[in-house]
Amino acid sequence: MTALSVIGCGYLGAVHAACMAKLGHDVVGIDVDEAKIASLQAGRAPFFEPGFPELLAESLATGRLSFTTDMAPAQGRSVHFVCVGTPQRAGEFAADLRYVDASVDSLAPFLSPGDLVVGKSTVPVGTAARLTEVVQAVQPEANLAWNPEFLREGFAVKDTLTPDRLVYGLPAGAAGDRAKQQLDEVYATPLSTGTPLVTADLATAELVKAAANSFLATKISFINAMAEVCEATGADVTLLADAIGHDPRIGRRFLNAGLGFGGGCLPKDIRAFMARAGELGADQALTFLREIDAINMRRRVRMVDLAREVCGGSIVGARIAVLGAAFKPDSDDIRDSPALNVSAQMQLQGATVVVTDPEAVTNARKQWPGLRFADTVDEAAAGADLVLLLTEWREYVEIDPTELGRIVGEKRMLDGRNALQPSVWRSAGWTYRALGRP
């Protein structure tokens, strides 16, 4: 058992803290947000994440997990994870590192010789080397490692307890050997069950995360580019994805064409990566990511164009129901949500848009006061001229078209996620349209 601190208790940090307690460690979660800490300490999850409320309750009950806004309880613990956010800087592509810097600055005075600071946040390459200097200026005998996190929202608990792989970015020499030993102790359980481990230098570990997210974004934009060509020719992108996905070198996962990627990671991470490459004089290497971003943003515009087309050329005065506000299913996260972006564009073009979502309505209401929200599908769809499926929650994918047909004004369905069976909807009398499908 190791005594750990986890600094930053958002999606990443709160889940990491609870999972580390589940693995048997003694963990304190630290965050400056008093409301978040009060909620976590009371066993209430401040965000929607399947399996997390149960894990939080279980870990708190063992007495091995606690939360505080005070940095002092980090003292006397030997491993300190930095899990704070690195959002996109306003008006720029680059990442905003103010939370990472503030965390390390306030942690440093509480470090003892031999302690290990472990960065998990997604940062521009070179940050870890810089932070090592900040740490060692205060505690020369502490070390810093980088251990990027690959968890997906909606699967955060599973991805943390049983990761695909572990990556350690380590300092050179004896400090690196000691850091590896400390991390091996923390991750003894996943390592004992065969989780692959890649050890590297600090810069490589930082780059692994940027490269992984860039590759995933590229896969999604690639298939969405194919969807554009399919639309021009009457071909079906879902069959195309199935066919190319059978090639194990390509693989079918992350080839779902539709409205494209959003969320708090992929969009800002590819932009921050481009910005960092520019600073390093390697901007040419990543110019393709501009195109990946552009293809992705075009999907949202295309969705609005399709809505206009299906409504006979104009959506002025149309009553439109939108199913989904979260950037993906099984999440209440609305950061850079394609669904809300499309909703707002349609509203701006004169439609009356009513959005519903199983979990994200509370968050969406706060940030998008100009849009209308409904708590149920029936309320959102009552009398609608058009229905858009923009986040593929299971309960929306399983909607019975005949029942929904009784509520709406016009039976028109736009499937922004290629999640519905066209034949089922058409045989129930609906006009069904999707991106990249005839």
Binder of ligand UDX out of 69, 235, 254, 362 (CB under 6 A): 254
Q: What angle do CA 165, 168, 174 make, to 5 degrees?
A: 145
If binding is defined by CB under 6 A, does position 227 make contact with ligand UDX? no
Q: Is 10 in the site for ligand UDX (CB under 6 A)?
A: no
Residue 168 and residue 197 in contact, taking contact as beta carbons nearer than 8 Å: yes
Q: Which of 262, 358, 401, 436 binds ligand UDX (CB under 6 A)?
A: 262
Kindly state the tokens that stand for 437: 């499908």
Residue 180 annotated in ligand binding: no
Backbone phi, then psi, for 424, in 5-degree steps? -65, -45
How many other CB atoms are found less than 10 A from the CB of residue 113? 9
Residue 375 assigned ligand-binding role: no
Among 150, 222, 273, 425, binds ligand UDX (CB under 6 A): 150
Judged by CB under 6 A, does residue 416 bind ligand UDX? no
Give the closest residue to 372 by CA, choosing from 396, 344, 392, 333.
Answer: 344
Question: Considering beta carbons, is residue 139 or 213 the nearer one to ligand UDX?
Answer: 213
Q: How far is the CB of 73 from ligand UDX (least distance, A)?
A: 28
Question: Cβ 304 to ligand UDX, closest distance in Å?
Answer: 17
Cα–Cα–Cα angle for 253, 256, 260, nearest 5°? 120
Integer CA distances (angstroms), 135 to 74, 77, 180, in order: 14, 15, 18
Q: Please list the alpha-helical segments (H only) found in 76-193.
A: 98-107, 127-138, 156-161, 173-186, 188-192
Which DSSP symbol is given to 269? H
Burial 399-416 (b: 16+ CB within 10 A, else e): bebeebbebbebbbbbbb
Please tell me which residue in 19, 83, 230, 265 is annotated as part of the active site: 265
Report the site for ligand UDX in 199-218 (rule: CB under 6 A): 213, 216
Judge whether 292 and 221 are in contact, CB under 8 Å.
Answer: yes
Using rule CB under 6 A, residue 295 touches ligand UDX: no
Of 130 and 254, nearer to ligand UDX (C-beta) is 254
Q: Is 335 annotated as a binding residue?
A: yes
265 a catalytic residue: yes
Between residues 265 and 434, which has the closer beta carbon with respect to ligand UDX?
A: 265
- Of positions 31, 115, 153, 357, contacts ligand UDX by CB under 6 A: 153
Known binding positions: 31, 36, 86, 122, 150-153, 209, 254-258, 262, 268, 328, 335
Q: Which residues bind ligand UDX (CB under 6 A)?
A: 149-153, 213, 216, 220, 254-256, 258, 260-263, 265-266, 327-328
Annotated catalytic sites, by residue?
A: 265
Known binding positions for NAD(+): 31, 36, 86, 122, 153, 268, 335
